[in-house]
A and B are shown apart, each in its own frame.
Chain A
Amino acid sequence: NAGVTQTPKFQVLKTGQSMTLQCAQDMNHEYMSWYRQDPGMGLRLIHYSVGAGITDQGEVPNGYNVSRSTTEDFPLRLLSAAPSQTSVYFCASSDSGDSYNEQFFGPGTRLTVL
């Protein structure tokens, strides 16, 4: 199994550009989520999904959209990039939404918005 994969690894955008961060998992996990990690901060939840067709907002959803058309994929869209969205983005998945299930993290996407 590849686990959780994320592309791209690095990205530089100009303010106002849009882009999609890709996340895929091959473990047939129902639960997927996106976090952002900023220097000196923990991880903050952006959006999550408990299954195909179902998404919900986390702590910091503004400026981001998600969709979950398949179990495997959970892309994160930046609609109009802003410098405040410069961060490292992590996708995670787990077997279910119950917290006793280990969350598996992808390697991250480092995004810089100029």
Chain B
Amino acid sequence: GEDVEQSLFLSVREGDSSVINCTYTDSSSTYLYWYKQEPGAGLQLLTYIFSNMDMKQDQRLTVLLNKKDKHLSLRIADTQTGDSAIYFCAEGSNGGSQGNLIFGKGTKLSVKP
């Protein structure tokens, strides 16, 4: 069945780069997403990548997609304390799933000053 796996915790120092990894199983996934959840809040879309792309960069965020290995990563450059949150990887397909997303369990990023 469909599954999305992420490591649960990541701790970095302020100013370092953070890399959050994700693997997924559904080869028909059309879009892959990164959502951010701050404490006590809902999820907010950070970025997404279409499955025919290898890389997408958006300011401090870089998304890498290895479709062969079904591996997705999110790199945050110059990590700040405000980046402390839970980051969810999610996969989605067009068509029959009607936009339903399959989420990973989330990676809790802690940024130490």
Count of chain B residues with a beta carbon within 8 Å of a chain A beta carbon: 27
In the complex, which residue of chain A has the Cβ closest to the Cβ of B31?
A99
Count of chain A residues with a beta carbon within 8 Å of a chain B beta carbon: 29
* Cβ contact within 8 Å between A107 and B94: no
| Contact digits for A35-78, partner B, Cβ 8 Å, 1 yes 0 no | 10000111111001010000010100000000000000000000
* Cβ contact within 8 Å between A43 and B4: no
* Cβ contact within 8 Å between B42 and A42: no
**Residue numbers in A under 8 Å from B90 (CB-CB):** 42
**Residue numbers in B under 8 Å from A108 (CB-CB):** 40-42
Q: Is B57 an interface residue, CB under 8 A from the partner? A: no
Min CB–CB distance A107 → chain B (angstroms)? 5
Q: Contacts A40-B105, A42-B4, A43-B88 given: A50-B44 contact, CB under 8 Å?
A: no
* Cβ contact within 8 Å between A99 and B94: yes
